[in-house]
Every structure is written in C-alpha cells, then in structure tokens.
Amino acid sequence: MNAGEPRAIAAAPLRRRSLVVGAALLCGLAPMQALRAAERLDPDEEALFIPGTARPTGDGRLEVDIHAWVYEPERRWGLNAAFARYLGLSLKKLSPAARLRFNQRTALFHAESEEGKVFELDFEGSAARVPTPPSGADGRMNMRIVIDPPRMPPSSEWLKFHAVTGPGELLHRFRGEALIVPAQGLSIISDIDDTIKRTQVRDRREMLLNTFARRFEAAPGMAAYYRTLAKAPDTRFHYLSASPMQLYPALADFLRDADFPMGSMHLRESTTWRTLIPGEQDSRTHKLGVIERLLADFPQRRFMLVGDSGESDPEIYGQVVRTHPGRIDSIAIRDVTGEDSRAERYAAAFEGVAPGLWQILSPEQAPAPIQRAR
C-alpha cells in the first residue's frame, strides 16, 4: 500500500467483528464468502452517522473514527401504539403536539438493522474514497481509518464526509462529520440527561415523557457556560450519554437549538425496546469505556468532566481521577438529588481526590472555573 493511500487500522478500543472483517477486506485477505455477502445499500435503506473524532498523527495525517448505523425505516405507524404501551404511556392522553413528537422521536426504534451493507466514504477537500467494512448483524459499522489531511482552513474543527452508495442515477449520499481534536488543549466530557438537559432520570414516567413527548429543556446556565469555555483555543466538547443512538437526531437538534457548542457524540448502542432503558451497570460500563478511550486517544490533552447526581456520575468520575492521576483538570456535578458537597455520598465518591478538583452545583447554578490541581 502506498504511503499516500488511506488505510484502515485496528484500534484496541474498537473491537468489533465488522472492523475485523473490514480490515481484511481492505487488505485483500477477506474470504470469498465475506466478499459475496457484502451488498450496496438498497434505495429504501439509510445510513446514520454519529459524530466521532479525528486526530492528527505524527506524520501529518488524520486518524478518523467512523460510527454508522445502516437500517431500513419502518413506516407502519401502528407500531407507535405498541411502543407506547411498552413504555407505559397513553397516546390518547397526549396533546397533538406531544403525539407528533412521540412519533418523530420513536421512529428509529422501529427501524430494521441491515447486515452486510457497504459503501464508500468521500471526504470533503480530499480525493480519498475509502471503502467501509460490511455492517454487522446490528447494522453497526465502526471503523478507524487514516487519511491524508484534506484541503481546509487551519481553523476548521470538523472533518466532513458523505457516503457514496451507488453509481450514476442510483447515487445516494448520507452525510457525516468528525470533530478534529488537536493534540493539546481542553476536552470537556459532558453528560447530557439532567446535566445539560432536563430529563428527570430518577422518575421513570417523567423521564419517558421528557424524552419522547415534551420539548427538550436546557439546564439553566449550562449553554452560556459552555460557550464561554469554547472561546479558549483548542477546546473541544464530547457529549456522553447512556441514551440509545436512535435519539441522536433529536439530541443534535437540541444542542443546536439551545446553542450549546457542538461536539462528538458518544451514545449507547441499543437495537431493541428491551434495552431502551439501561441498567445502572450498563450505563456505568458505557461511560467508563468512552472516557477511557478518549483519555487514551488524546494523551496530551487536559480534561474536564461534567455530570449530575441523578445517577452514578460522581462515582464514575471519582474512579477516573484515581485511575488517571493528573489527567483531569476539574469535575462539576449538578445537584438534582438535594445533596450538598458535605454529603457522605461525595466523601465516598471523591475519596483520594483533591477537594479543589471537584464542585457540586445547585440546579440553577452554572459551574465556575476550577484551577487545575498541581
């Protein structure tokens, strides 16, 4: 392979069957049955890209994470009634506007994942066209590739690309992007539910209504504070949530509408109704995994962790600080459980963590900067 050609590399955090098969395809080592199984997207199939990250390499190229879901939309609206019953909600009791939101936000939960689908990726400002590995049984396609830097302004924060799924008149394009993260700077890893968006996770019915039927409501002061943080050079945001990736379109609209800085999105993969609401351990495992990956991918960057007290964010973040001393600049926890910084819970969660490294915020308070512990 020539030095200037894009190449796929297997990264330890992205251990997925589709990546292994994809690497074999790109290297010409895939068995013939895998080649025969790969198919182009049909006209009624779609690809949803979740924004990942792109990082400069030592030789001046870009290493890019691609996260996609290939699916066929399901148009039978009767499924919404069944989904509502499963969630314990009555569509008849919702207002027309709330029913419309419910239909829109639940649409992807009815979609059918498509296995063995492939396409190419075209990157804006680059002549590179990169073939993808086949999607897995869950429709997921995760890969890590290295490309020559596209022609773009040095200040660009986003690498944009689109999927090419067929020739001529059958050409279908689905757009995606990856956040370009410099080697150094500040990365804010932020939870979403009850941290920047009012969800009421601890009340199941309110959580479901706030997620599927009501307008998303931003947490007071958080968008303005994040915009202030974003003014510092080379600051990047990474939004982390145990929400399923089917909610990505609605969450992306929320970030834009509430004027939060856009960033990479790290949502939980869920393909069935039964896994819509994760268990505490599933949520913890997902969040720890994402944080560990970001710390490993960006070893020279500083990190700020922002979460809330509704679930296990304090315990997760305390564990991260103890496991990676010196890597975390600060922690901010929004109080949604009526506990102040003297609560026994926080003494346990932040045991061994410097007191000046973390702070508890009232629900109406935006965080103040914390000086990095030395």
Q: In this predicted model, what pLDDT tens digit does every residue of 118-172 receive, in sequence order?
A: 999 999 998 878 999 999 999 999 999 999 989 988 888 999 999 998 776 566 7
Q: Are 147 and 8 in contact (CB under 8 A)?
A: no
In this model, does residue 9 exceed pLDDT 70?
Answer: no
Q: Which helix (H) or strand (E) holds 282?
A: helix 280-297
Q: Are 121 and 47 in contact (CB under 8 A)?
A: no
| Residue 160 bridge partners (DSSP) | 177
Higher-pLDDT residue of 169, 2 = 169
Beta strands in the chain (DSSP E): 7-8, 39-40, 46-50, 52-56, 62-72, 112-113, 117-118, 120-123, 129-131, 140-147, 158-164, 173-180, 186-191, 236-244, 264-268, 302-308, 328-334, 358-361
Q: Is 234 helix (H, G, I), strand (E, B) or coil?
A: coil
In the prediction, which pLDDT does 3 show? 41
In the prediction, which pLDDT does 37 show? 62
Pick from 189, 190, 200: nearest CA to 310: 200
Q: Which two tokens stand for residue 27?
A: 């290297």
Q: Are 360 and 314 in contact (CB under 8 A)?
A: no
Q: Are 229 and 303 in contact (CB under 8 A)?
A: no
Sign of the four-CA dihedral 195, 197, 198, 200: negative
What is the model's pTM?
0.86
Pick from 298, 181, 291: nearest CA to 233: 181
Q: Tell me the pLDDT band of 296, cut-offs 50, 70 and 90.
A: very high
Q: Which residues contact 70 (CB under 8 A, 6 or more apart)?
A: 41, 45, 46, 47, 113, 114, 117, 135, 139, 140, 141
Q: Tell me the pLDDT band of 191, cut-offs 50, 70 and 90.
A: very high
Sign of the four-CA dihedral 323, 325, 329, 330: positive
Residue matched to tokens 């075209």: 122
The rounded distance, in Å, linking the Cα atoms of 138 and 16 is 11
In this model, does residue 84 exceed pLDDT 90?
Answer: no
